[in-house]
Chains A and B, each alone.
Chain A
Amino acid sequence: GAGVSQSPSNKVTEKGKDVELRCDPISGHTALYWYRQSLGQGLEFLIYFQGNSAPDKSGLPSDRFSAERTGGSVSTLTIQRTQQEDSAVYLCASSLADRGETQYFGPGTRLLVL
């Protein structure tokens, strides 16, 4: 595809359940990023993958959050034992490399935890 894709577009889950959010970056982009957008906190960085390097997990809010990137392409963000405060839009972005390269965003996944 031409752009970053994310699935599902919307997800409703019950408190305590686990959820997986998927991101397909632009082909050839080596860097991949996850952000969270919520009403109270604005846009927050979560995690960053660059090539085969160890990911920068400094933005993950708790150990219930984890992310993987398989084969240097697709990434999955997993939230275990979801809480109502996890309700937000989760945005994925990718770029050609890092440093000053522009990040291109997907349409996001809106997560609602009941």
Chain B
Amino acid sequence: AQTVTQSQPEMSVQEAETVTLSCTYDTSESDYYLFWYKQPPSRQMILVIRQEAYKQQNATENRFSVNFQKAAKSFSLKISDSQLGDAAMYFCAYRSPDPDSWGKLQFGAGTQVVVTP
């Protein structure tokens, strides 16, 4: 079974600064999918970024980028030029290529990002 670990319950960052959220996972599979979701107080889970394990290039979406280290099973999220609107809970998630597990996103415990003016 796969497990996803987010070891930072909370991270604080000043506006315009950079913050990095860590995520590690445990798997024996070689082809899988990783996601970062953002959940603001509205409860809506919003996709931030996704990464296919077979791709070596790190995914980027505007101010958000990941550092995907497949051998180390690490998938960190970097938020650059932080904005007040980035304040939210961030979840790392793993999706298996196993047909018996296709439906299941496995989530980490989440990291609360606090942005200070």
CB-CB under 8 A from B47, the residues of chain A are 102, 104
A89 CA to B91 CA in the complex, in Å? 16
Within 8 A of B (CB), among A67-114: 89, 91, 93, 98-100, 102-108, 110
B9 to chain A minimum Cβ distance, whole angstroms, is 12
The count of residues in chain B whose C-beta lies closer than 8 Å to any C-beta of chain A is 24
B85 contacts partner chain A, Cβ-Cβ < 8 Å? no
Among the listed B44, B95, B102, B103, which residue makes an inter-chain contact with A105, where contact means beta carbons less than 8 Å apart?
A: B44
Within 8 A of A (CB), among B82-112: 91, 95, 97, 100, 102-110
A42 CA to B108 CA in the complex, in Å? 8
B62 to chain A minimum Cβ distance, whole angstroms, is 17
In the complex, residue of chain A having the shortest beta-carbon distance to the beta carbon of B98: A99
Asked if residues A42 and B45 are in contact (CB atoms below 8 Å), the reply is no
Asked if residues A33 and B102 are in contact (CB atoms below 8 Å), the reply is no
A3 to chain B minimum Cβ distance, whole angstroms, is 8
- Highest count of chain A CB atoms <10 Å: which of B43, B50, B103, B109: B103
Asked if residues A107 and B50 are in contact (CB atoms below 8 Å), the reply is no
Within 8 A of B (CB), among A34-66: 35, 42-43, 45, 47-48, 50, 56, 58-59
B52 contacts partner chain A, Cβ-Cβ < 8 Å? yes
Question: Total number of A-B contacts with CB less than 8 angstroms?
Answer: 55
A59-B104 contact, Cβ under 8 Å, with A99-B97, A100-B95, A102-B35:
yes
In the complex, residue of chain A having the shortest beta-carbon distance to the beta carbon of B105: A103
B56 contacts partner chain A, Cβ-Cβ < 8 Å? no
B33 contacts partner chain A, Cβ-Cβ < 8 Å? yes
CB-CB under 8 A from A58, the residues of chain B are 104
A62 to chain B minimum Cβ distance, whole angstroms, is 18
Asked if residues B43 and A43 are in contact (CB atoms below 8 Å), the reply is no
B28 contacts partner chain A, Cβ-Cβ < 8 Å? no
A23 contacts partner chain B, Cβ-Cβ < 8 Å? no
In the complex, residue of chain A having the shortest beta-carbon distance to the beta carbon of B104: A45
A3 CA to B33 CA in the complex, in Å? 22
